[in-house]
């Protein structure tokens, strides 16, 4: 999938000042390959699912029945009929808004912390043990802490996302900042870069690709965790929706929600990866 | 010292050195220098005086500490013993007036060719106006024939082009001392000749650089460019084996050197100094 995407990006892009012409036949073949492999993936998934549904029996709905439910849900995503009956789009939106807030605050804390750990020996000695001890903790274990400090279950879910999105960004930022090659440092010293110039022209451009890798990992885990956190918090959100559907023993809705969670997660990843692509530069041998 | 100004000749703001006292003291003076890293002594007993306007090459086998010595002059390293003085001042740290061309070009890969040079000029020559700095960048890039490639990033350039930009960047800040650390080590022989020619041209076109020290392991390169060649012994505890004069008037062309009666003699002498590892 990723190589295919990269090929698509390379079509018609300027490399080294020359635009490579891509013949139409090649584009058509590339689209055919993409569509074909996606269809094959869906076919294999449907086959396994169908066999599983047939073996388990009536409790697990099959692919065709579920797809009907899926399209019903997607066709009217934003209806609102009271607190316990909202469209799937509203639920996803509520979850995304929580992820966005938790992720934004987490990033605002994680990047400066990473710079501190990566650039100063004292910073590393003080903060690295804290990161190492707290990082392996399941984010859901923080839920009660969020509940007690924020006095609100939905905000506690945001708090869990905040904690989750810290670690990958902290660790990758610290690595990026600490891995500035000696030759770049020497250039900055010889040409008498001011601290501000050094930060803007050396530290940030060198660390940015690493920071963006951290952000991509962070938002991925945040999206995984929000579903679980909302099962605990209740109220709104796609996690609550899954739990609610399960309590109604409506597995067609559960599976439809799983598919949507996956698709939204993929889109989030693509967005961050597209942003990261803008900050890439050609490596110098 | 009295300043005489000639209003009819415009003065390049980057080349303006009227304030400087001209003196007979060496431009660079290395005295009793030793560098050790723990128990390992890289270089020891180095005494070297370089006059203003001289081009001096440091030549020796790999690991003989020639780059270590150059780094001391740049201020990127400190001697364990002895002193390095430039303009009569003890070198305490790096400064753009003692500018370095790094072995592996040292260009910032995320900046375009233009920005790489502009950022350096901007940082090292803060008192100049934006227009003066921009004009300077254009001038050096034209001089190394890289103006057409100014929007490219270093990763899109060939090895020779990167080295051109690196040399242009050093000239752009108009240092009085230029330090070259095996600047042409990674480029092929033909490109190397072109770069040598350009280095000589650059010195005359944007010539503010007075003194040049170059580390190399290429005998022909050293003969073509230098007034004196400092041959170092092998490390550890490397020192100066011999300082060889190149009695050919500068600026030179390649054919001046090739047809000079002393060329073969010089080459043989340097080869014999570098060829056997035992001190004679």
The predicted pLDDT at position A162 comes to 97
The boundaries of the domain holding residue A201 are 88-278
pLDDT-derived band at B207 (thresholds 50, 70, 90) equals: low
Judgement on whether residues A113 and A248 belong to the same structural domain of the protein? yes
Predicted confidence (pLDDT) per residue in A169-202, tens digit: 999 999 999 999 988 999 999 999 999 999 999 9
Average pLDDT over residues B215-243: 89
Judgement on whether residues A161 and A95 belong to the same structural domain of the protein? yes
CATH number at residue A184: 1.10.3720.10
Residue A133 lies in a domain: yes
Asked if A192 and B93 come within 8 Å (Cβ–Cβ), the reply is no
- Return the residue in A17, A190, A285 with the most chain B beta carbons within 10 A, the one to mutate for interface testing: A190
Give the end of a domain, one of A11, A43, A60: A60
Asked if B120 and A16 come within 8 Å (Cβ–Cβ), the reply is no
Judgement on whether residues A237 and A112 belong to the same structural domain of the protein? yes
ipTM for the whole predicted complex goes beyond 0.90: no
Domain ranges (residues) in chain B? 28-109+158-275
Give the one of A187, A190, A283 whose C-beta lies nearest to B108's C-beta: A187
B161 contact residues in A (CB cutoff 8 A)? none
Predicted confidence (pLDDT) per residue in A209-225, tens digit: 999 999 999 999 999 99
Closest chain A C-alpha to B266 CA, distance in angstroms:
34
Residue A69 lies in a domain: no
Question: Domain tally for chain A?
Answer: 2
The predicted pLDDT at position B21 comes to 47
What are the counts of helices (DSSP H) followed by strands (DSSP E) for chain B?
8, 10
Judgement on whether residues A8 and A124 belong to the same structural domain of the protein? no
End-to-end, the C-alpha distance of chain B in Å comes to 48
Residue A49 lies in a domain: yes
Domain B28-109+158-275: CATH architecture, name and number where available: 3-Layer(aba) Sandwich (3.40)
Judgement on whether residues A55 and A95 belong to the same structural domain of the protein? no
Q: What is the mean pLDDT of chain A?
A: 88
Residue A8 lies in a domain: yes
Asked if A201 and B111 come within 8 Å (Cβ–Cβ), the reply is yes
pLDDT-derived band at A256 (thresholds 50, 70, 90) equals: very high
B119 contact residues in A (CB cutoff 8 A)? 191, 193, 197, 201
């Amino acid at each position: 999938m990723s190589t295919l995407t990269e090929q698509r990006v390379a079509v018609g892009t300027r490399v080294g000042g020359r635009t490579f012409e891509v013949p139409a036949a090649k584009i058509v073949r590339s689209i055919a390959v993409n569509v074909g492999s996606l269809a094959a993936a869906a076919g294999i998934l449907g086959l396994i699912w169908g066999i599983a549904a047939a073996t388990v029996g009536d409790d697990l709905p099959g692919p065709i029945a579920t797809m009907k439910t899926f399209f019903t849900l997607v066709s009217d995503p934003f209806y609102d009929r009271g607190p316990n009956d909202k469209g799937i789009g509203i639920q996803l939106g509520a979850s995304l808004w929580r992820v966005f807030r938790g992720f934004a605050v987490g990033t605002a804390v994680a990047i400066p912390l990473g710079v501190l750990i990566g650039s100063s020996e004292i910073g590393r000695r003080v903060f690295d043990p804290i990161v190492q001890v707290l990082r392996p903790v399941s984010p859901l274990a923080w839920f009660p802490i969020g509940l007690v400090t924020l006095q609100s279950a939905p905000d506690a879910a945001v708090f869990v996302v905040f904690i989750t999105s810290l670690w990958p960004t902290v660790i990758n930022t610290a690595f990026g900042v600490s891995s500035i090659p000696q030759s770049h440092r020497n250039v900055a010293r010889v040409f008498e870069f001011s601290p501000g110039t050094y930060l803007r022209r050396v530290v940030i451009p060198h660390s940015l690709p690493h920071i963006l890798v951290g952000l991509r990992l962070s938002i991925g885990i945040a999206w995984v965790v929000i579903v679980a956190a909302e099962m605990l918090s209740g109220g709104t959100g796609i996690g609550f929706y899954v739990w609610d559907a399960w309590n109604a023993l409506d597995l067609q809705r559960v599976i439809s929600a799983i598919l949507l969670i996956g698709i939204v997660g993929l889109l989030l990843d693509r967005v961050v990866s597209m942003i990261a692509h803008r900050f890439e530069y050609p490596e110098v041998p | 010292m009295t300043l005489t100004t000639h209003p009819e000749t415009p003065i390049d703001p980057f080349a303006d050195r009227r304030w400087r006292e001209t003196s007979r003291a060496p431009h660079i003076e290395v005295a009793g220098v030793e560098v050790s890293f723990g128990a390992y002594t890289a270089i020891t007993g180095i005494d070297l005086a370089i006059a203003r306007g001289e081009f001096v090459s440091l030549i020796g086998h790999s690991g003989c500490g020639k780059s270590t010595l150059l780094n001391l002059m740049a201020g990127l390293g400190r001697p364990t013993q002895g002193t390095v003085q430039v303009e009569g001042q003890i070198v305490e740290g790096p400064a753009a007036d003692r500018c370095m061309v790094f072995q592996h070009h040292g260009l910032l890969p995320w900046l375009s060719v233009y920005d790489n040079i502009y950022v350096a000029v901007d940082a090292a020559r803060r008192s100049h106006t934006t227009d003066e700095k921009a004009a300077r960048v254009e001038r050096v890039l034209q001089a190394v024939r890289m103006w057409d490639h100014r929007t490219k990033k270093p990763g899109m350039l060939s090895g020779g082009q990167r080295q051109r930009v690196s040399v242009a960047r050093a000239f752009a800040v108009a240092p009085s001392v230029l330090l070259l650390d095996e600047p042409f080590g990674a480029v092929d022989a033909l490109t190397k000749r072109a770069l040598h020619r350009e280095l000589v041209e650059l010195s005359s076109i944007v010539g503010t650089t007075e003194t040049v020290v170059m580390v190399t392991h290429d005998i022909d390169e050293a003969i073509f460019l230098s007034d004196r060649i400092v041959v170092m012994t092998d490390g550890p505890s490397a020192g100066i084996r011999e300082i060889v004069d190149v009695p050919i008037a500068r600026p030179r062309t390649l054919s001046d050197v090739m047809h000079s009666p002393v060329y073969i003699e010089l080459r043989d002498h340097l080869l014999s100094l570098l060829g056997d590892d035992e001190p004679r």
